[in-house]
Structure 1
Amino acid sequence: MLFGHGDRVISRILIVEDEPLVAFDNEHLLTHAGYQVVDTVDSYAHAELVIKSAEIDLVLADIRLNGKRSGVDVAQLARDRGIAVLFVTANCPADARHLAVGCLIKPYAQKELLAAIEAIDAIMAGSTPGRLPQALMLF
């Protein structure tokens, strides 16, 4: 890890993902890496409830979700509440770049997800991130 657990800006993460296997893998990986996964949800409606009721440092948002609303809608809600967003999707939405810190393109390796979060943590801490994963685009 780039930072010790106590030095992180990001500690509480909301996973918004409609693919159960990806959601489970991300939750397990992040928990094992010392992050607190606040919740793992698959729809805007559930994400809205969590965002409005929990302390969250970062939202990992897929674009396609269950229901009528998308990860872009989740990103707008999170941004309105001052919560950083990282899109994790196969197709990064060019028209929503202003809503997120960046986009990690699927499929990505677990180490790329951790490196992306560490890079965003560095940016939020006012530092320059180290080497960025190839699958990560910062906005």
Structure 2
Amino acid sequence: MAFDNEYVLRDAGYRVVASVDTVDAAVETIHAGSPDLVLADLHLSGGGTGVDVAQAAHDAGVPVIFVTGACPEAARALAIGCLAKPYSQRDLLAAIDAVDAKIAGRAPKRLPRGFTLF
């Protein structure tokens, strides 16, 4: 799914810093790449969870969207939103647009199905 997201995002004009599947790689990427946004699944390989990634991103001032089946309770304190799986490419792009709008102080045009904006 991460590589599908990467393709969709690049096709939409976004620059994808990295697609990783461990907490350590994600934290390293956050600190080295200065991303504008992190998409974090809850379940990662190699120990740790997306909550650990969200904490690192939050500490670095990078907004996070959880993309997972069930949004963890800790998400509200660490993330800007949660997009429930399964989601469409259109829903992913609309969720990012909604986050962009919120960060810019504008009301989002629409919230896609399965997306909660905190």
**TM-score, L = length of structure 1:** 0.83
Percent identity between the two aligned chains: 55
Matched, 1:65 2:79: no
Structure in which a larger fraction of residues adopt strand: 1
Residue correspondence of structure 1 range 50-89 to structure 2 within 5 A = 50-89=29-68
Alignment match, 2:84: 105
Alignment-mate amino acid for residue 53 of structure 1 = A
Query: Within 2, Cα distance between the matches of 1:38 and 1:95?
Result: 25
How many residues matched? 118
Alignment match, 1:94: 73
Residue correspondence of structure 1 range 1-139 to structure 2 within 5 A = 22-139=1-118
Alignment-mate amino acid for residue 68 of structure 1 = G
Query: Within 1, Cα distance between the matches of 2:33 and 2:113?
Result: 32
Specify the SS of the correspondent of 2:47: coil
Specify the SS of the correspondent of 1:40: coil
Q: CA deviation at 1:109?
A: 0.5
Query: Within 1, Cα distance between the matches of 2:74 and 2:37?
Result: 20
Query: Within 1, Cα distance between the matches of 2:85 and 2:31?
Result: 28
Higher relative contact order (CA closer than 8 Å, sequence separation 6+): 1
Structure 1 gap segments, 5+ residues each? 1-21
RMSD (Å), alpha carbons: 0.7
CA contact (8 A) 2:66 2:75 kept: no
Alignment match, 1:11: none
Superposition misfits of 4+ residues, deviation over 3 angstroms: none
Specify the SS of the correspondent of 2:18: strand
Specify the SS of the correspondent of 1:30: helix
Alignment-mate amino acid for residue 108 of structure 1 = Y
